[in-house]
Amino acid sequence: MGTRTSSGALAGALLASALLAPTALAAWPEKPIRFIVPSAAGGSPDVLMRLMTAELSRQMGVAIVVDNKPGASFTIGTAEIARAAPDGYTLGYGNIVSLSVVQTLLDKVPYDVEKDLTLVSNTIRVFNLLAVNNDLPVRTVPQLIAYAKANPGKLAMASGGNGTTGHLGGELFKSMTGTFILHVPYRGSPQGINDLIAGNAQMMFDNISSIGPHAKSGRVRGIAVSGPRRSPVFPDLPTVAEAGVPGYETVAWGGVIGPAGMPKEVLSRLSAEIPKALSSPVLIERYKALDTEIDGGSSQDFAALVRRETPKWAQVIRRANVKVD
């Protein structure tokens, strides 16, 4: 009788567990979500992800806390995402640098994109703005090229860090124009922009979303955009290609990632919530003001993008002989 009772109790407990498990998982998220941005506060990734996570937080009824972990070409923060428990409570931002560029740029990357990360959704595309210090006597790309050739090594090009699209876009520009310009990496875009304004650097390629407001206010002078078409935020500025460097193009992209092994139910919820957030009129308007294009592709689309972009940037890095300073 005792054995039967114990067996019955055990069976009941197992049945209860089985019934409760889906309910518990379906309740995700039950506590705040940590969202790691592997770059400095105030830079383009930080600004764009704070806007998106604020909308997600409102939709999902849970706090999403942005945690900036800059350094080492985005790899410090990305490695922390990879090491996190795959329970949906640690997500983050993955981009062209952390998912594609570093695979060629660095001798050793502290994570394997395919094995250690879940690519949830690519969300944004951003062009760079080529800006110069107001005291530099150039107003066009041809004038900048002529000045650089007349003053080899005397121009300092700031960037938000080694391996960023600002850095690589600048190296590509140097390679395609035959100019010698000194690259000066900073811990993040805000620090580089501050030195550009102060005159400690003379030029910079940086995301329009971060450097654009400074160009609008007149603190720096924008002379061209890096994408395949003009920016609606700066319609009077030509693309670098239009301005005399045919074939030049740099487009940054990024999206939501998490550690490998995330539950399917969590991915399914995120796959529904992220496009909903990106289609919010408020977010669309904010991103438009920052000249940011919305993507919102699936996990499979994101993985395909990374596989496509990685060899492309490997070729750019090798051709321009890009080195980590």
Find out whether 266 and 88 touch, Cβ atoms under 8 Å. yes
Output the pLDDT for position 290: 84
Find out whether 131 and 220 touch, Cβ atoms under 8 Å. yes
DSSP β-ladder status, 33-37 and 203-207: unpaired
Output the pLDDT for position 325: 56
Instruction: Kindly tell me the burial class for residue 198, based on how many C-beta atoms sit within 10 Å of its own C-beta (0-12, 13-18, 19 or more).
Output: exposed
**Rounded to an integer, what distance in angstroms lies between the CA atom of residue 314 and that of residue 158?**
22
Domains recognised in the chain with CATH numbers? 31-125+252-319 (3.40.190.150), 127-225 (3.40.190.10)
Q: In three state form, how does the secondary structure of 107-119 look?
A: CCCCCCHHHHEEE
| Stretches in the chain below the pLDDT threshold 50 | 1-7, 9-11, 13-25
* Total-model pTM: 0.79
Output the pLDDT for position 24: 41
Task: State which amino acid sits at residue 65.
Answer: V
**Rounded to an integer, what distance in angstroms lies between the CA atom of residue 211 and that of residue 249?**
18
Tokens 């806390």 sit on residue: 65
Output the pLDDT for position 263: 97
